[in-house]
Structure 1
Amino acid sequence: MIRKAFKLKVNPGQFEEYKKRHDNVFPELVAVLKEAGANNYSIFLDQETGCLFGYVELESLEKWNCVSKTEACQEWWRYMEDIMETNPDSSPKSTELTEMFYLA
Structure 2
Amino acid sequence: MAESIALHTKLKPGTEDEYADAHAHIPPELVVALKEAGVKNWRIWRSGLDLFHVVDVENYQAMRHALADHPANVPWQARMAELLAVKDDYSGEDAGIQKVWELP
Verify same fold: TM over 0.5: yes
- Cα-Cα RMSD: 2.0
* 3-state SS in 2 of match to 1:71: coil
**Which residue of structure 1 lines up, in the alignment, with residue 43 of structure 2?**
42
Shift in Å, 1:12: 0.9
Q: Are the counterparts in 2 of residues 37 and 64 from structure 1 also a CA contact under 8 Å?
A: yes
Shift in Å, 1:44: 0.8
Aligned in 2, Cα 1:62/1:98: closer, same or farther, shift over 3 Å?
A: closer
Query: 1:2-17 counterparts in 2 under 5 A?
Result: 2-17=3-18
* 3-state SS in 1 of match to 2:5: strand
Query: 1:1-104 counterparts in 2 under 5 A?
Result: 1-47=2-48, 50-65=49-64, 66-87=66-87, 92=88, 96-103=96-103
> Structure 1: which 5+ runs fail to align?
none
Q: Are the counterparts in 2 of residues 43 and 52 from structure 1 also a CA contact under 8 Å?
A: yes
* 3-state SS in 1 of match to 2:75: helix
* 3-state SS in 1 of match to 2:6: strand
Q: Deviations over 1:5-56 (max 9, x none)?
A: 1111111111111001001011111100011121221011111xx1111111
- TM-score when normalising by structure 1: 0.82
CA distance in 1, matches of 2:76, 2:43: 17
* 3-state SS in 1 of match to 2:102: coil
Q: Provide the identity percentage.
A: 27
CA distance in 1, matches of 2:46, 2:5: 17
CA distance in 2, matches of 1:62, 1:11: 26
Q: How many matched pairs? A: 98
